[in-house]
Amino acid sequence: MESKYTLGMIGLGTMGRNLLLNMADNGFAVTGYDKDSKMIAKLKEDGAKHNLTAYSSLEDFVQSLELPRRIMLLVPAGPIVDSVIKELQPLLDKGDIIIDSGNSHFTDTNRRIADLSDAGIHFFGMGISGGEEGARFGPSIMPGGDKEAYGSMKAILEAVSAKVNGDPCVTYIGPGASGHFVKMVHNGIEYSMMQLLAESYDIMKNALDYSNEQIHEVFTKWNNGRLKSFLLEITAEIFLVKDDKGTGNDLLDMIKDEAKSKGTGMWTSQVSMDLQLPIPTINEAVSTRDLSKFKTLRVALAKAYPEAKPTAENKEQFIVELEQALYFSVITSYAQGLHLLWQASISYKYELKLHEIAQIWRGGCIIRAEFLEDIYQAYKKQPALEHLYADAGVQAKITEILPGMKSVVAHAAKSGLAIPAFASALSYFDSLRTARMPSNLIQAQRDLFGAHTFERTDAEGTFHAIWNPKKS
């Protein structure tokens, strides 16, 4: 009898192909399916040592899998996922498993779970972070949904995931669409950290007159310290790459200053509004990408409102302060994302274990960083911790670096340098540590013009006041 494959992959683009190669390296019998014959040929070429093969017939692909079938999708999020499921479903039996490993919106995952459950098919959404290199050699994996289905996949996922201190960077996230939700928030934090690095570059370039090579040296030095992270490491490398078009310039200087996006950051901002849980630094990162697209308008307004950008007097001291400001803002980015996960766990009944999420983010994923070990320890010590700012270890770090954060934001404001992520991080912190905010005035305004009532500091219940007796 012909042996069957343990898992099949639909979608043999870079991510799907590399993940299959990773599984084959770890001893699993796997195969794939793709409508594009070139993708099939590429898999056979790259997987020659494992005799990897794939199918152009969906029926043959499904029949090649052992029962219950384990089928992973790595296709573009949105209607294509629904199309593949619709084509696949009539060929499946009850008990078979479908894993959506793309960047699907968590509400789509909720719908698919419900639809497929009615047909007796297990489904779970699984976030994967680490890019093509991570998929090939060990990503961070965030599966959520059908726990029985995860149990069937656990050995495979633990084998192919990144490892930190011997621990696999994968864990069962929780029920429903929690896996895709956590990956979405991961991407929101990623947006924030990328924006903070861009603002740091802008400050060094315009407030310190640093060359690209000098900025590379600063980022490299920082990456050897407490700011060590994947994003800082790769960002430092960018500044040394020369343009291959014969201009003689650094490639970075030839790239148009308009940032694109695929929408996952926007989704994070949108759901934060739905949950009424503020993540302003992540929101600013999303908004600034959108603002960058108005290039023509920005060029015109730069001429209408010219402003000199004075160089910092003590560059060495300013660089020390900038490192502190970046560290402060990175802490805040993680804090905002984790606070959103804390609220989502309550609102959506995800039962998230934040220390486990921090643990699997330590390796393989785009936002992996030295500081994630501190986050892991904070939530391991206090699983019910509402906010990262409330951890004693984090409080000690913030107390040390807060003066540098203030100095950098103040200098940028005086110099006309736009630092939306840095500035929002400081305002967010100052708001959260304010025992009495001026929001009482807003409630008074609402009650005056709309009779929306208010609560008192000295009595229970809601009240309405006659603010202007003469007009009343």
Q: Tell me: the pLDDT tens digits for 388-433?
A: 999 999 999 999 999 999 999 999 999 899 999 999 999 999 999 9
Model pLDDT, residue 2: 65
- pTM of the predicted model, to two decimals? 0.95
What is the identity of the amino acid at 382? Q
For residues 266 and 302, state if they share a domain. Answer: yes
Which of 151, 176, 201 is a domain's end point? 176
* Span 2-14, pLDDT tens digits: 679 999 999 999 9
**CATH number of the domain enclosing 29:** 3.40.50.720
- For residue 450, give Cα distances in angstroms to 248, 334, 453, 459, 463: 63, 38, 8, 22, 13
For residues 89 and 234, state if they share a domain. Answer: no
For residues 118 and 214, state if they share a domain. Answer: no
For residues 259 and 279, state if they share a domain. Answer: yes
CB 412 within 8 A of CB 203: yes
For residues 171 and 237, state if they share a domain. Answer: no
| 147 token code pair | 């726990």
Domain count, the chain: 3
DSSP state letter for 326: H
Backbone angles phi, psi at 61, to 5 degrees: -60, -50
For residues 26 and 66, state if they share a domain. Answer: yes
For residues 278 and 161, state if they share a domain. Answer: no
> Residue 54: CB partners within 8 Å, gap ≥ 6?
12, 31, 32, 33, 34, 39, 40, 43, 44, 61
CB 192 within 8 A of CB 282: yes
Residue 2 lies in a domain: no
For residues 401 and 324, state if they share a domain. Answer: yes
Model pLDDT, residue 161: 97
* Span 288-320, pLDDT tens digits: 999 999 999 999 999 999 887 778 889 999 999
**CATH number of the domain enclosing 444:** 1.20.5.320
Model pLDDT, residue 468: 86
DSSP state letter for 167: E
Residue 455 lies in a domain: yes
Interhelix angle 280-292/315-347, rounded to 10 degrees, is 110
Residue 209 lies in a domain: yes
Whether 45 is catalytic: no
For residues 459 and 315, state if they share a domain. Answer: no
End-to-end Cα spacing for the chain: 90
- Taking residue 382's Cβ as centre, other Cβ atoms within 10 Å add up to 14
Query: Cα separation of 28 and 23, whole Å?
Result: 6
For residues 367 and 452, state if they share a domain. Answer: no
| 116 token code pair | 């497929």
Model pLDDT, residue 310: 77
Model pLDDT, residue 315: 94
Ranges of residues in the chain whose predicted pLDDT is under 70: 1-2, 472
Q: Which of 45, 133, 183, 400 is catalytic?
A: 183
Residue 196 lies in a domain: yes
Q: Which of 2, 49, 190, 381 is catalytic?
A: 190
For residues 264 and 329, state if they share a domain. Answer: yes
Whether 190 is catalytic: yes
Query: Cα separation of 383 and 352, whole Å?
Result: 10
Which of 131, 151, 176 is a domain's end point? 176
Which of 118, 149, 176 is a domain's end point? 176
| Pairing of the two strands 122-129 and 97-100 | parallel
For residues 124 and 191, state if they share a domain. Answer: no
Domain span at 105 = 7-176
